[in-house]
Structure 1
Amino acid sequence: MSSSVPPFSELLANCTRSAVHLEMRDAYGVSNEEERFKAWREGFRHDPGDRASWWRPWLDLIQETVGRGVVVRRARIVSEPVSEYIHFEHSGTFTNVAAGEQVRWLPRRRASDIALPGNDFWLFDDRLIRWNHFTGDGASAGPEISEDPAATTLCSEAFEAVWARAVPHEQYEIR
């Protein structure tokens, strides 16, 4: 595995068919999320009519990627009742969907018999993994890239199993 990780924009730019993302934590302490989470706790909610105020430049990147014909899917495995952080994520996910991402939610109790990798990941074109490593408190411990065929197979199969059971964002109700 390589420790040299290209920028995310480059990974998506080189993607031709699919980019899938599996999230399995109930909270993240990632620095670029902290201000948005704090604002949400204080009552801020995205205005569906004010697209310019949404999470930029991420949503622009997703919109451009989907516009090239790449299918972008995100699945989140969550404990129920959901954590405050997952409630925050759920409340803003409509922006991801509006940008072209397909998003589904899977209650953790329904994932017990799925073989899952030990870390969150992005899988690009079923061949390149960007592992997302986190510390115990949810802070980023840095990404890692892998093209290991066994690992890509594990990630692909795990994602598809989760996706098949998960509830589309528009139908998932916070519990």
Structure 2
Amino acid sequence: MTTSSKTLGDLFDSFRHEAFRLETLADYSKSGNVDAYQVYLAGEPQPDDYNAGWVEELRSHTEKGKRIYRVHILSRPLSDYLCFELGWGYRKNMTGGEEFFILDITEKPNPLAGVPDFWCFDSESVAVMNYDEAGKYLGSEVLGPEQAAEFMRYRDTALAQAEPFTEWWAKYGT
């Protein structure tokens, strides 16, 4: 892989039109919102300020007409972490304008098996997200522009087979 001197943060700061994320893991509990996840597992209510910084970041982009959206590839039954992420995270982030889609592979093959998590910005810049086996975030690798087309095909495949989160959640949410 050819890498760029830009960082994931640089790409977030400079994207003009859209940011797309593909999520493939069932558990990111070692990566972020660890305290909130523990509150969720304890059966406590969602704190009012949960994800407030990210929601503010989202609004700073979506109020300028930029699109931020993601597809999560998953299967049922949902892990405890996915119940948390979708029930707390996605629903909260939607208030900042982020869009979510679910590619449920419970009863069909994964069309993107082996594809890593990634962010794509303006269909031209890609950052691959690296995680260990336990779902701990290890960092990102910004790829060279010559690799963007491959990841756009992954994005398009995911979107073509996914359904809007709100529709999926109405059927399968907890």
Report the alpha carbon displacement of residue 32 of structure 1 after superposing the two structures with TM. 2.6
Superposed CA offset, 1:10-32 (max 9, x none): 32221011100000001113343
Q: Residue 6 of structure 1 aligns with which residue?
A: 7
TM-score (norm. length: structure 1) = 0.85
Opposite residue 91 of structure 2, the aligned amino acid is F
- TM-aligned CA deviation for residue 107 of structure 1: 0.9
Name the SS of the counterpart of 1:69 in structure 2. Answer: coil
Unaligned runs of 5+ in 1: none
The SS at the match of 1:29 is coil
- Distance verdict in 2 for CA 1:120–1:110, change over 3 Å: farther
Instruction: Report the Cα distance in structure 1 between the residues aligned to 2:111 and 2:62, rounded to whole angstroms.
Output: 28
Contact 1:116–1:154 (CA under 8 A) maintained in structure 2: no
1:121 deviation in Å?
0.3
Of 95, 100, 118 in structure 1, the residue corresponding to residue 92 of structure 2 is: 95
Would the aligned equivalents of 1:116 and 1:155 in 2 still touch at CA under 8 Å? Answer: no
Query: In the alignment, which of 148, 152, 156 is matched to residue 152 of structure 2?
Result: 156
- Paired with 1:3 and 1:127, the residues of 2 have a C-alpha distance of 12
2:8–2:127 contact (8 Å) kept in structure 1: no
Paired residue for 2:61? 65
Counterpart selection for 2:75 from 74, 79, 88: 79
Instruction: Classify the secondary structure of the residue corresponding to 1:158.
Output: helix
Q: Does 1:143 align with 2:140?
A: yes
Tell me the TM-score normalised to structure 2 length.
0.86
Q: Is the 8 A contact 1:3 1:145 kept in 2?
A: yes
Aligned residues: 169
CA–CA distance in structure 2, aligned partners of residues 95 and 19 of structure 1: 18
Number of the residue aligned with 1:104: 101
Gapped runs of 5+ residues in structure 2?
Answer: none
AA at the equivalent of 1:29: S
What is the match of residue 45 of structure 1? 45
SS at match of 2:52: coil
